[in-house]
Structure formats: structure tokens, C-alpha cells
Structure 1
């Protein structure tokens, strides 16, 4: 055996060198493939977030709130949209009653936010809100400066409801306050009524009186 190893010494050395070279190649020179990360999910997420942000930045559509009073079948506060006219709101309120004086109302007028549409009865005299429409911006048909003011110490519920922003509930509250605490001393006392804040009072102060 010893003689065989001596005779084949060179072959054994060569084989060992080849084995070492193979091991060295495997561990140090074999290229490693690194998988690139998938970004499809990230791209989809970014796209989704961008779309959501765009939706969030869009301005909400402007709401138009109109108060329909007087001789209509279903008086109340209605939400309108740009382009609608007085006639459209009166129709949505059930239409005029049999006693309504339609000749005093401009059915073709465009509605505006905070507008009051008041339909008078036949033979009814004008009060704080002129027959037709009015709002805080004094559009055509709005109240005039020389118009008779509403005496909040004497007005009944129907008269109080002709005032902008005063519905049946607030009219009842005004009368209840009057009965409990006595007459209003100044128009500013109206702010003692629950639901009548500074903004509402600004619309009313030039339309009301206490004497």
C-alpha cells in the first residue's frame, strides 16, 4: 500500500488540488442571484393614495337652504341646488294653497342660499317680509328700509314666522318668553331666546321693534 501511494503521489496531489479548487470556486466565485423586490404592490398603494387625496381635495358642492313660508301646503326649510327657481321650491312644498295670492310672487326668480319664500294670502297686507322672496343679501323682492317693522311684543305666531330664520318652533319660543318674562325691553333681548344667536339676530334687528 505504501509503495502504491508513493507511486501515485503526484496523482493524489493533483486530485487534492482539483478538489480544493472546486470547493474554493463553489464558495467564493459562484454568483448568487438576488431577487429584486416586487414593487407592484407599492405602486398600487401609491396610486390608490394619490386618487384618495385627489378626491379629498375636491370642494364639496355648495348647499342652498331655502325657507318656504305662508300659503303653501307644506311650509318648511328645503335644500335646493344651483339653477332651481322659486316655482320649483313652491312645488316641492306641495304647491300654493287655494287662498294663496300667486300674483305677488315671482315664480321665475332663481333661489339663493338663506332665501325666504313667502306666499301671502289673498287680501293680505305686506309685512316684514315682502310678499315673494327675500334674503340677507337684499335681492330683488327683498325687504325695503321703509317697510313696517314687526313688533315682537305684539306679533302672533304667523306674523313672527314671516321673519327670516323664524319658524314655528322659534315663534312659539318667542311668545312663551313674552308670556313668562314680560315684554321685550329692547330688540337685543331677542337673543335670550334659545336658537337665536348673533348671526340670526343680525338678519332680524332691522326688521323688528319693541314699541
Structure 2
């Protein structure tokens, strides 16, 4: 009414001006309300969860370490190996050792070598395998052609087809079985005699093995060595 009387504004114009002022006031109120500061929620800590997952990986889960490919080590049950230590040791017999043990560990488990025994022919640093035999103090036989040196401590060579005589102190039952007139039973008797007496010192001792007579000894004498 004051504007209408003071400025001579018509009622229609006054109504339009009022609407504009109200709209401007509403726009300003909405603008200031939306621009007010908001409280922001802090993110959840994730370090502990990540550390827990890293310390306890689930087999087969993504990101979990997988075993390296390759053949498993030659060990016995429970991560142990069993070897037969014979010859000139204080306590010959079966010894149970942890996997990865060496020839020196087997000799130590058998009470050590007897005084005066020469260990130069043994590779004491070689890693043992489950089920093998170690003969301590056996005479060193002639090297077999084509064999792998140091492949066994007083055990077998690389094969029975190598040139030269078969070593009575190194040959396995299978290699002795290839000799003429020697079967699996007689080959086992030769190995048993070798184990009980600490090896063969000469070929003549072959006569003392059960099942070998004069005729069979004559056939074997040129084919074998100590």
C-alpha cells in the first residue's frame, strides 16, 4: 500500500514484484543451506584386515603362495630317512636321520668310525637318500668306466654294464645278479656277507659266502674285484 500510494504502482505490478522478491529470498536460502559445512565420516581402518589376510593365506585363494613345481625330495615318512650303516663303525645297523642328512651324519649316528679306519674313499658331504646303504672302511675297488664318481658311499656304481670287474664292495643285488651263475638269492648272500664282515678285502673271501663252491668261484674270480 505504501508503494502504491508513494510511487503510484499498480496492484498488478506490485504483485509481480512481490513474487520476484519471494523467489529471490527462497533461492538465496537454498543456496546458503546447501553451502553449509557437512560432517564427513572417517574411512574404516583396513591395515589390520589386510595384515590378517596376508599372515594367514588360504590354500588356493587368490594371492596365496603356491608350491614350486618339481619332484618331491626322496624322504621317508615324517620327513625322515632310514639308511643302513655297516662296516667299520662302532654301532652298525639301521639309522633314522632327518631329511637332508649327509654321509657324515650317518657315520656319526652309528657311533663314528673305528680307530684307524681310512675314510678317504667316502664322500662325507653327500646328501643321503632314503633306503641306501653306507659301507665304512671297505677297500676301494677299481673305478668303473662310465660310472659317476662319488655317486654312493660304498654302494653301487652307475650300472652293471660298465667295463671292468664288478666290485664286491660296491655292487648292488641287481648288479651281482647279472654275473654268471649268480641269482637273486646268491646275490643277497654276497651283500649280507659284505655287511656282516665290513666288506671284502680280497676276492678269495668270496669262497666263504654261502652257496659259492670251488667251481662257481672259478667262474666268478676273473669277473669280480674287491
TM bin (shorter chain): 0.3 to 0.5
Q: Rg: which structure is higher?
A: 2
- Please give the TM-score of this superposition, normalised by the length of structure 2: 0.36
Q: TM-score, normalised by structure 1?
A: 0.38
